[in-house]
Amino acid sequence: MIRDVLRMGDPRLLAIASPVHDFHSEELKQLLADMRDTMAHLNGAGLAAPQIGVSLRVVIFGVTANPRYPDVEEVPDTVLINPEITPLGDEMEEGWEGCLSVPGMRGWVPRWSSLRYAGCDEQGRRFERSVSGFHARVVQHECDHLDGILYPMRIRDLAKFGFNEALFPGQDLPRED
Ligand code: NI
């Protein structure tokens, strides 16, 4: 079922989400189905459970290569539950981000360039990956939602935060997270 996505200003987006303990519940299955439906409907790159009002440490993300956006790297479709992020090195890089909870806007956000993330898939099996670049950015953005952090809170120079049409006139932009 497609769910409403909460928008910045809603206090539920600022809460610390709770870990998942039961990986075989009907609630988790339904949550993941709703998150997939909602993300697909809005053509998002990622979605965190708190964005649909469920305060659990569950995120999904994935970006398929699109010839319209040759600069956007592919990210595998992933369900990540109870994630842990470990930066690899201290290098950071800045890039444009959007968010389904901050629709129509983009901001220039610093993130760790490389990291390892670990967590569980929807069956509760633990996995980990070492990633960099756009994949690392998407993971950091989604996992921030679990700690009540929205990307505008990380922008260093608010001159680089604005509406899509004003920042990128006439451009067709890739997906929001
Ligand atoms: Ni977001």
Reported confidence tier of residue 71, pLDDT bands at 50, 70, 90:
confident
Helix H or strand E encompassing 94: strand 92-99
103 CA distance to ligand 1 centroid (A)? 9
- Quick check: is 75 in a domain? yes
Mean pLDDT of the chain: 95
Average pLDDT of the residues in 114-141:
98
Cα dist from 24 to 5, 72, 93, 121, 157, whole Å:
25, 35, 38, 12, 44
- Quick check: is 21 in a domain? yes
Taking alpha carbons only, the member of 136, 138, 163, 168 closest to residue 59 is: 138
- Quick check: is 83 in a domain? yes
Residues 6+ apart with CB under 8 A from 163: 104, 105
Count of the separate structural domains present in the chain = 1
Dig out the tokens for 142 from the structure.
């989604």
pLDDT digits (tens, 9 = 90+) for 39-59: 999 989 999 999 999 999 999
Average pLDDT of the residues in 140-163:
98
pLDDT at 93 over 90: yes
pLDDT at 7 over 80: yes
- Return the CATH number at 75: 3.90.45.10
pLDDT at 177 over 90: no
- Quick check: is 79 in a domain? yes
How many other CB atoms are there within 10 angstroms of residue 138's CB atom?
A: 24
pLDDT computed for residue 65 by the predictor: 79
Helix H or strand E encompassing 98: strand 92-99
The pTM of this model reads 0.95
Check 84, 91, 142, 165 and give the catalytic one: 142
- Quick check: is 144 in a domain? yes
pLDDT at 66 over 90: no
Q: Which residue has the higher pLDDT, 69 or 81?
A: 81
Query: Which domain range does residue 158 map to?
Result: 11-167
Is residue 176 within 8 Å of 152, Cβ to Cβ? Answer: no
pLDDT computed for residue 16 by the predictor: 98
pLDDT computed for residue 104 by the predictor: 95
- Quick check: is 132 in a domain? yes
- Looking at the chain, the whole-number percentage of residues with pLDDT higher than 70 is 98
Residues 6+ apart with CB under 8 A from 93: 110, 111, 113
- Quick check: is 5 in a domain? no
98 CA distance to ligand 1 centroid (A)? 7
Determine whether 142 is an active site residue: yes
44 CA distance to ligand 1 centroid (A)? 9
163 CA distance to ligand 1 centroid (A)? 16
- Quick check: is 174 in a domain? no
